[in-house]
Chains A and B, each alone.
Chain A
């Protein structure tokens, strides 16, 4: 009888057996589906004489990319063109993240203001941005820049040497050389050193209980490396100022309409979401915490910085991560207004080579990789601010 229990229909009632059976069925059907699709694809590709593989990446691209951050010429390879697209995507997303965070923080705090007018304005701002599709805003900003701003010849000088026209925003720029990069690195090093010195001072204060004046040391740590770097490499500080000529603006750096519209659209739409996240984060901190901090004699600013924000951050960071991620993914809408981001460059490449599978695979992998990197970084940051439970 015992043997019987393990055979035939009885086997189907064995939980272990069923678990294995389900998994085999799931994996098997996916493998079969994959094989079926693969055979279809290879047949189609053979019929249509489309090459396969990533060999095309080293061929000459031959198309122009209207704005690139890294050097790119039409004679460069497809691989190089795609790299230029990736850099453009990262560039516009990074600036948008910075802008969106700053605006979002202010609007989020303004939503909680005791001044009803300010709270109302912030509310209108958030609702107007959240309830209209981003794509519509992108089209709108782009159309407004191109159609309602004056031509280059009559560009508005909104600040000295800052011109606004239908070909974008023209700002003064620094002629960037290797020496500048070294100074920038020294600045970063100085910042790191400053943080280190500040930490040491705090640790010393906690262990000895004596308060010393520390800011001169921090300032010294901040300033010495960049100063040294400037003295050593002596960077050329020529600023290229845009000037209005008869027909066009000369000099300076130009933020093209596509870039400006995308930057503004992405930053504003994300800022509305971030404002709501900040608001709910601050609201999640109990009122008693404010009262306790006041009872200890802390000023409002200090209360916010030392008591409220550290607790609010725990609530803020996880949704903030997803709004950064969606901003990054939304930058792919660039293709609608013609900013040459990764998607647009890949699209051009696909049209020229006909290799759709490889093209889409590349840009999906890049997005996936960068998304994972952003979320890993934010998770690391989150684990630092998260509640440490003992």
Chain B
């Protein structure tokens, strides 16, 4: 029969375990999860093997087997990355069919746009002035890209293409989708049944069908709905579809934020004598939007990727110009992987950056609440 005292005595008799020195402890701590158990050792070996294969493949393709000079023929013979392809096609992949000599305008517009975006992302600058900044940026980019004034030559929307077009579609989609989404979210949580039902039907229908079908609707059906003689620009039609799509998704994110605001806030606002719009504008929405920021950033990331779908209705967005570059008669069938890897890299950089920003915001918000 072992009793508590027996155990205590046994423990006293046990040799005292010496604490291993720091170096050994560190070694132990790093190695234990890697080779602690036989299964773990097998997993580690398998992972190392996969990583080795990936690294070897990437290094071989990018460096040792890469073709750095010569034209398409050199690339056809080699089976590594084809740098001459990037040299020849990089500008086309980014700017598409925008007039070659005028591409500095798009570049400048993109720098302006990304700069404004960078400033917007810093919480310290969050104020009403941002609206002014964006107003100026939008007007400036519109003038730069479209031209027709200040001696800039006019460039029709059919030549707007490439990465700037992808930015434009997603940014304008979000900029217009956001206020519409907020109104829809308010309508959906309204106490007036008719208005609520209209909002619910709109949101659920848009969210229940694929984006492609809305794009099709805009590109095929919208012209039929316009009065005779009125034509709507193809780009504008796609943009309208994207705004509508954005609004439905933003509405749901904002609704989540609205639901998180306790009833007391509404009641307190009423007690202060504020009417509905005042209460919403001054009390409820600022709090709800703050809660909804992380999901809204996630929607924006998804959105930037979703704009690639305009390829299907024939707009030359970034993915589309990359594909066009690949089907150039000189390069067809030669630079398949090169083109897609480049496009994937660009999307990865922007999406991952936005994702990291969203995680930063989430941490910041959590701190703000505690």
Q: Which residues of A contact B (CB under 8 A)?
A: 19, 22-23, 26-27, 30, 37, 40-41, 43-45, 47, 113-118, 120-121, 127-128, 130-136, 139-140, 143-144, 147-148, 329-330, 332-333, 335-336, 343, 347, 350, 356-357, 360, 363-364, 367-368, 371-372
Q: A22-B192, A45-B224, A132-B348 are in contact. Are A143 and B306 (CB under 8 A)?
A: no
B105 within 8 A of A: no
A19-B192, A133-B319, A330-B210 provided; 12 other pairs, C-beta below 8 A?
Answer: A19-B191, A26-B194, A27-B194, A41-B225, A132-B305, A135-B309, A136-B344, A139-B323, A329-B210, A335-B212, A356-B221, A360-B220
| Residue numbers in A under 8 Å from B43 (CB-CB) | 113, 115, 117-118
Bound-state CA distance A23–B198 (Å) is 10
A136 touches B224 (CB 8 A): no
A133 touches B347 (CB 8 A): yes
Q: Which residues of B contact A (CB under 8 A)?
A: 33-34, 40, 43-44, 47-48, 50-51, 191-195, 198, 205, 208-213, 216-217, 220-221, 223-228, 301, 305-306, 308-309, 311-312, 319, 323, 333, 336-337, 340, 343-344, 347-348, 351-352, 355
Chain B binding surface, main DSSP class: helix
Chain A binding surface, main DSSP class: helix
Bound-state CA distance A144–B340 (Å) is 11
Q: Which 3 pairs across A and B sit closest by C-beta, in order of nearness?
A: A131-B351, A23-B194, A133-B305
| Residue numbers in A under 8 Å from B343 (CB-CB) | 136
| Residue numbers in B under 8 Å from A130 (CB-CB) | 351, 355
Closest to A347 in B: B216
A329 touches B209 (CB 8 A): yes
Which of A45, A130, A134 has its CB near the most chain B CB atoms (within 10 A)?
A: A130
Closest to B213 in A: A364
A121 touches B210 (CB 8 A): no
Bound-state CA distance A44–B355 (Å) is 46
Bound-state CA distance A116–B211 (Å) is 38
Min CB distance A265 to B, Å, is: 12
A128 touches B209 (CB 8 A): no
B195 touches A332 (CB 8 A): no
Q: A121-B51, A132-B351, A136-B347 are in contact. Are A343 and B208 (CB under 8 A)?
A: no
B336 touches A343 (CB 8 A): no
Which of B43, B210, B337 has its CB near the most chain A CB atoms (within 10 A)?
A: B210
A43, A121, A134, A371: the one within 8 Å of B47 (CB):
A121
| Residue numbers in A under 8 Å from B221 (CB-CB) | 356-357, 360
A135 touches B311 (CB 8 A): yes
B50, B227, B348, B352: the one within 8 Å of A40 (CB):
B227
Bound-state CA distance A147–B335 (Å) is 11
Bound-state CA distance A41–B221 (Å) is 9
Min CB distance A136 to B, Å, is: 6
A37, A135, A343: the one within 8 Å of B213 (CB):
A343
A333 touches B212 (CB 8 A): yes
B305 touches A134 (CB 8 A): yes
Bound-state CA distance A330–B195 (Å) is 30
Min CB distance A149 to B, Å, is: 12
A371 touches B208 (CB 8 A): yes
| Residue numbers in A under 8 Å from B223 (CB-CB) | 44
Bound-state CA distance A23–B192 (Å) is 7
| Residue numbers in B under 8 Å from A117 (CB-CB) | 34, 43-44, 47-48, 51
| Residue numbers in A under 8 Å from B355 (CB-CB) | 127, 130-131
| Residue numbers in A under 8 Å from B301 (CB-CB) | 131
B193 touches A23 (CB 8 A): yes
| Residue numbers in B under 8 Å from A357 (CB-CB) | 221, 224
| Residue numbers in A under 8 Å from B225 (CB-CB) | 37, 40-41
Bound-state CA distance A363–B212 (Å) is 11
A136 touches B340 (CB 8 A): yes
A131 touches B347 (CB 8 A): yes
B308 touches A136 (CB 8 A): yes
| Residue numbers in A under 8 Å from B306 (CB-CB) | 133
| Residue numbers in A under 8 Å from B308 (CB-CB) | 133, 135-136
Which of B221, B224, B227, B308 has its CB near the most chain A CB atoms (within 10 A)?
A: B224
A121, A127, A131, A372: the one within 8 Å of B50 (CB):
A121
Which of A27, A41, A115 has its CB near the most chain B CB atoms (within 10 A)?
A: A115
A128 touches B348 (CB 8 A): yes
Bound-state CA distance A139–B43 (Å) is 32
Closest to B340 in A: A140
B34 touches A115 (CB 8 A): yes
13 contacts across the A-B interface (CB closer than 8 A): A26-B194, A41-B224, A43-B228, A44-B224, A118-B44, A127-B352, A131-B301, A133-B305, A133-B347, A147-B336, A364-B213, A367-B208, A367-B209
